[in-house]
């Protein structure tokens, strides 16, 4: 397995600087595992180049314009020269919890305009989680916007419990795009997609698909919950007692474990932070807390290239391996 204390096997050691989670530094060991050495021998394509950015945001629930203004402030204060990809969280501008489809803001057109404008401004690809209305259905979707103005939508296939109240399951297969970033295959995935379908079976469907498709960069938009919204108070209290650094490690380790079938790929994860009241889902008092820990992982070596904290908004920019 690639998972040990942080889910990174023997390939890295992790140092937390005095700044805490935001001061995370990851250093590669000189010795790779035999598995990774064999993998290197098999690699035929050039590794990804350029830089990628993950936006970690707390949306203003039900107010997409206000959320976009927050995102603009984050991106405008971040140097983005040389970035080939910007990834935003699941339901990045609307918020995540809704108890009915009728309550989900119709924001696909506005999100598409914003993403295309950002892609053109930075000369890159923008991937953003957003609701997509189609007839009587609402999909939890990902938008891919290119600098030439073309777009692609992907609808989430594996629905989480909280999706079921408002969301229709995507009918099309997982997607890996060969026309988004030069010399790359850009894969897509949304939060629960990384888990077994309806939490049954062995899992690995998303990772296996992208392995077989030859995906070289996986753009993952997430609203990863600290605990299930329906969990009893005792479980909620236990989860809230976990230290931020431990929660960050556990979250990243969980993603890496679920990606086990996928190799020779860069995992670019934008996860949201903050909380939303469970009343949005019709469950009464309390909040759903989101995990953050947006990160970039090199799955070929098990190396964590960078990560954000579990609580703060920000933009992570990472240079991809040469």
Q: What is the pLDDT of residues 306-318, one digit of tens each?
A: 999 999 999 999 9
pLDDT band at 10 (very low <50, low <70, confident <90, very high): very low
Task: Please report the pLDDT score of residue 80 as a whole number.
Answer: 97
What average pLDDT is seen over the chain?
Answer: 86
Burial tier of 73 (Cβ tally within 10 Å: 0-12, 13-18, 19+): exposed
Tallying the residues shown for the chain, one arrives at: 322
Task: Please report the pLDDT score of residue 234 as a whole number.
Answer: 61
Burial tier of 318 (Cβ tally within 10 Å: 0-12, 13-18, 19+): buried
Task: Please report the pLDDT score of residue 208 as a whole number.
Answer: 97
**pLDDT tens per residue across span 22-42:** 433 443 332 233 334 434 444
Give the closest residue to 216 by CA, choosing from 81, 29, 6, 49. Answer: 49
Task: Please report the pLDDT score of residue 215 as a whole number.
Answer: 98
Angle at 203 between CA 190 and CA 266, to 5 degrees: 50
**pLDDT tens per residue across span 288-306:** 999 999 999 999 999 999 9
Task: Please report the pLDDT score of residue 230 as a whole number.
Answer: 66
The structure's pTM equals 0.86
Angle at 98 between CA 227 and CA 190, to 5 degrees: 60
Q: 217 near 185, Cβ under 8 Å?
A: yes
93 pLDDT exceeds 60?
Answer: yes
128 pLDDT exceeds 80?
Answer: yes
Q: How far apart are CA 131 and CA 171, in angstroms?
A: 15
**pLDDT tens per residue across span 223-249:** 999 877 766 666 556 666 788 899 999
Task: Please report the pLDDT score of residue 291 as a whole number.
Answer: 95
Q: At 144, is the secondary structure helix, strand, or coil?
A: strand
77 vs 285, more confident: 77
136 pLDDT exceeds 90?
Answer: yes
Give the closest residue to 118 by CA, choosing from 157, 142, 145, 158. Answer: 145
């Amino acid at each position: 397995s690639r998972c040990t204390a942080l889910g990174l096997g023997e390939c890295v050691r992790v140092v937390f600087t005095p700044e805490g989670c935001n001061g995370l530094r990851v250093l590669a060991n000189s010795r790779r595992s035999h598995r990774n050495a064999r993998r290197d021998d098999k690699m035929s394509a050039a590794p990804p180049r350029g830089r990628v950015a993950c936006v970690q945001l707390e949306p203003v629930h039900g107010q997409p314009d206000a959320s976009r203004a927050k995102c603009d402030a984050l991106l405008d204060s971040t140097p983005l020269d040389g970035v080939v990809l910007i990834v935003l969280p699941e339901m990045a501008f609307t918020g995540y919890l809704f108890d009915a489809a009728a309550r989900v803001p119709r924001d696909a057109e506005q999100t598409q305009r914003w993403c295309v404008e950002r892609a053109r401004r930075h000369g890159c690809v923008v991937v953003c989680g957003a609701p997509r209305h189609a007839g009587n259905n609402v999909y939890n979707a990902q938008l891919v916007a290119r600098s030439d103005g073309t777009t692609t939508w992907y609808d989430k296939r594996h629905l989480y419990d909280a999706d079921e109240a408002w969301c229709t399951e995507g009918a099309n297969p997982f997607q890996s795009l060969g026309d988004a970033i030069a010399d790359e295959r850009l894969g897509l995935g949304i939060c629960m997609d990384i888990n077994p379908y309806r939490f049954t079976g062995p899992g690995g469907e998303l990772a296996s698909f992208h392995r077989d498709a030859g995906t070289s960069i996986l753009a993952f938009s997430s609203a990863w919950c600290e605990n299930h919204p329906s969990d009893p108070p005792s479980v909620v209290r236990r989860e809230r007692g976990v230290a931020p650094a431990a929660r960050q490690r556990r979250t990243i380790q969980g993603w890496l474990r679920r990606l086990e079938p996928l190799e020779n790929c860069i995992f670019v994860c934008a996860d949201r932070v903050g909380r939303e009241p469970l009343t949005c889902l019709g469950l009464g008092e309390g909040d759903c807390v989101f995990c953050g820990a947006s990160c970039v992982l090199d799955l070929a070596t098990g190396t964590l290239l960078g990560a954000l904290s579990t609580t703060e908004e920000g933009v992570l920019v990472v240079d991809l391996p040469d």
